[in-house]
Amino acid sequence: MAGILSVFDDGSCTVFSTTINRHALKITDAKVIVCNPGRNFVTLKIYTDQGIYGLGDATLNGMEMAVVSCLENHFIPALIGKDPRNTEDIWHYFYRGSYWKRGSVTMAAVSAIDMALWDIKGKMLQTPLYNLIGGKSRDRVLVYAHAGGADLNEAVEKTGEAIEKGFSAVRIQCGIPGISHTYGVSGDRKSYEPAQKGLPVEQYWDTPSYLNFVPRLFEKVRQVYGDAIHLLHDVHHRCTPVEAARLANELDPYHLFWIEDPVTGELQEGLRLIRKHAVTPIAIGEVFNTVYDYTTLVTEQLIDYVRMPVSHGGGITHLLKVAAFAGIYHIHTGFHGATDLSPVSLAASLHVDMALNNFGIQEYMPHPEVVNEVFDTNYRFDKGYLHIDDTPGIGVDISEEHAAKYPFSTASLPVNRKTDGTLFYW
């Protein structure tokens, strides 16, 4: 049995060689570790008086230092002395208790705290996180890969490479004739990383060219790879409701697993028009941070998948509530999993994916090898699925020594303009 060797009269017990007093546990300190093994990551480490620490991912792509400041100057001082086992109360302390609530920066900080506390809870009880939130609802987690091509042929080729690697679900993005940069396509054939060093680069966009091209892309991919493979596509917030309705309708024949962010997430009512014209499933929420961003989308059944990630949507505590709310309306999960979510986030998502009945799919963009020098992970890919082991807590550790070799370097997401110069959504 994992760990607990003896329990004493005063309630303390011995776990391996550490003696834990179960009647008292206090947060003694917390620190923020910022590193850049190929890209920036912000990791919160919370220490307790029992020698156990927990990790949370606080990375907000291109806005890292805003979250660091929120944690260091405002949240960490208020955490010291609290009992880390009270995850619900501490969540409400930082969410409900803050007059200035919601927003990406604050919620990334709340999320990191919550993740680290659940990590501590699991380590203390010597059990993987999924056992604390419902146990295993499945053996393995279906994931989707990214395939991005500069043109149609390359997109088809990259889709084939993902299938070769064992993926049964592939998100396809493709360069559009007449547009110089397209979301999801890497210029140098390396793995796609949208944040670039320094200030935001400006890119150009043309919706009519995009709308004409995308149905042809999926027609071609279906011809080449057949019906069995799950196909996904990210519109990345770039259509108006009527444009999105046209796109979703024209994609109906190719039976996509989903289209993502067909309109900007803040326009919840915009989804009504899409639903009137198409049955292509819809996923939304990678930029959301509370359940309140979802109320119309869920109660009117305007979407099929919730994408809000554990690292931006209030951590485990809040994500479980969002998933339960979605589940009542037969909506599934498809959590965000781009490379700007650290291995701590990916592992935390996998625990939630394992435990939920209404799990749908998990995004999986493998981190480059250098990231594994800094983070010690507990998941592995096999034949289209991720498997997570039974390491207690979230199960990912960080090497501060290796992290220190890769100092922070400012990077920003692009800014997008229409071809005539009008500022647009990226």
Alpha-carbon radius of gyration of the chain = 22
User: Between 365 and 396, whose beta carbon lies closer to ligand EZ4?
Assistant: 365
| Lookup: tokens for 154 | 């390359």
Residues 175-234 that bind Co ion (CB under 5 A): 234
- Catalytic residue selected from 47, 144, 233, 236: 236
Helices (H), 263-342: 271-277, 295-299, 315-328
Residue 119 sits in the site that holds ligand EZ4 (CB under 6 A): no
Using the rule CB under 6 A, is 64 a contact of ligand EZ4? no
Residue nearest to Co ion (CB): 234
Query: 272-290: b or e for each residue (b if 16 or more CB lie within 10 Å)?
Result: ebbeebbebbbbbbbbbbb
* Nearest to 243, CA basis, from 261, 255, 231, 256: 261
Instruction: Build a one-symbol-per-residue string for 397-426: x at contacts with ligand EZ4 by CB under 6 A, - elsewhere.
Output: ----------------x-------------
Question: Interface with Co ion includes 340 (CB under 5 A)?
Answer: no
Please report where in the chains the tokens 């490379």 appear, as a residue: 339
Contact (Cβ atoms closer than 8 angstroms) between residue 234 and residue 283? no
Exactly one of 95, 130, 144, 183 is catalytic; which is it? 183
Closest distance to ligand EZ4 from the beta carbon of 75 (Å): 22
CB of 261 to ligand EZ4, least distance (A): 7
* Count of residues that bind ligand EZ4 according to CB under 6 A: 9
Q: Which two tokens stand for residue 278?
A: 């198409």
- Cβ proximity of 134 and 356 under 8 Å: yes
Give the C-alpha separation, 11 to 100, whole Å. Answer: 40
Rounded CA gap, 97 and 417, in Å?
39
**Residues in 306-365 at the binding interface with ligand EZ4, rule: CB under 6 A:** 338, 340
Is the torsion defined by CA of 207, 213, 217, 223 positive or negative? positive
330 is catalytic: no
Report if residue 114 touches Co ion, rule: CB under 5 A: no
Q: Is 329 a catalytic residue?
A: no
| Shorter beta-carbon distance to ligand EZ4: residue 158 or 236 | 236
The 231-270 site mask, x for binding Co ion (CB under 5 A), equals: ---x------------------------------------
Q: How far is the CB of 316 from ligand EZ4 (least distance, A)?
A: 20
In 3D space, the residue among 219, 222, 270, 278 whose CA is nearest the CA of residue 425 turns out to be 270
Q: Which is nearer to Co ion, 130 or 364 (CB)?
A: 364
Q: Residue 118, CB half-sphere, CA atoms under 13 Å: how many? A: 34
Q: How far is the CB of 15 from ligand EZ4 (least distance, A)?
A: 37
**Using CB under 6 A, which of 234, 243, 250, 293 touches ligand EZ4?**
234
Q: For Co ion, which stretch binds (CB under 5 A), given 205-213, 224-232, 283-291, 376-384?
A: 283-291
What residue type is assigned to position 56 of the chain? G
Q: How far is CA 287 from the centre of its chain?
A: 10
* Spatial contact of 59 and 41, defined as CB atoms under 8 Å apart: yes
Residues near ligand EZ4, by CB under 6 A: 61, 194, 234, 236, 260, 286, 338, 340, 413
Catalytic residues: 183, 236
Residues near Co ion, by CB under 5 A: 234, 286
